[in-house]
Amino acid sequence: MRDDAAYFLDRLIAARKIRDYIEGMSEATFRQSDLHQSAVIREIQVIGEAARLVSADSTTAHPEIEWEEIAGMRNRMVHEYFRVNLRIVWQTVQDSIPALIVQLELFVPSDNE
């Protein structure tokens, strides 16, 4: 069984991949690229699934992280894949992913990267 540290690391790696995937990209280019959309959506799913699997102790200890919203976005992308709103995805990767990376870097030792 994996522990919370592994889930924090999974989330950090996925968030960094998203950052790297869209670096220098405009929203218009993102909307035209099925490849980038699929890659970003997949990593958002990883972030949400890992957030969902973190223990109650960790979620309680870190109320600054929007656990329910993160898991909820994952659920939408998995179960309602046919209704994914690319504007919301783009807004999330622009506004939330950089902040999430900063938060997670506080919890993941640098030697695990």
- DSSP structural state of residue 108: S
Q: Is the pLDDT of residue 73 over 70?
A: yes
Q: Is the pLDDT of residue 113 over 50?
A: no
Measured at the CA of 95, the angle between CA 89 and CA 101, to 5 degrees, comes to: 100
Lowest-confidence segment of 28-37, 51-60, 76-85, 103-112 by average pLDDT: 103-112
Are 19 and 97 in contact, with CB atoms under 8 Å apart?
A: yes
Sign of the CA dihedral running 66, 4, 76, 90: positive
Q: Which of 36, 42, 74, 87 is catalytic?
A: 74
Tokens of 99: 């902040």
Confidence of residue 111 (pLDDT cuts 50, 70, 90): low
Q: Which helix (H) or strand (E) holds 24?
A: none
Residue 74 annotated as catalytic: yes
> pTM for the whole thing?
0.91
Instruction: Return the pLDDT at 12.
Output: 96
27-56 residue pLDDT tens: 999 999 999 999 999 999 999 999 999 999
Residue 31 annotated as catalytic: no
Q: Which of 36, 42, 79, 83 is catalytic?
A: 79
